[in-house]
Amino acid sequence: MSLTTFGFVAVGAMFASYWLEDRSPWFVLVFAAACAASALYALLAGTLPFAVVETLWAAVALLRFRARRMPREGR
């Protein structure tokens, strides 16, 4: 698989999982994984700022997944 194809699949997965995330918290987890894949693509392509931003998006998505999976106390 070429680097361009890998990047296309990673960003495509980000788009699809973001679009579907209201249907299940698992799509938020898929979004986090796709962001991590996109960060890897950015590192391999030599675009460090993009890799940093995508890594941050992956971390935020993991926190969102955790918040959606854990029951809220006091509610």
pLDDT for position 69 = 83
Q: For 63-72, write each residue's pLDDT tens digit.
A: 999 998 877 6
- Taking the complete model, does pTM exceed 0.85, yes or no? yes
Q: For 20-69, write each residue's pLDDT tens digit.
A: 998 999 999 999 999 999 999 999 999 999 999 999 999 999 999 999 88
User: How far is 56 from 46, CA to CA, in rounded Å?
Assistant: 17
User: How far is 74 from 21, CA to CA, in rounded Å?
Assistant: 25
pLDDT for position 70 = 79
pLDDT for position 73 = 58
- Which residue reads 């987890």 in tokens? 29
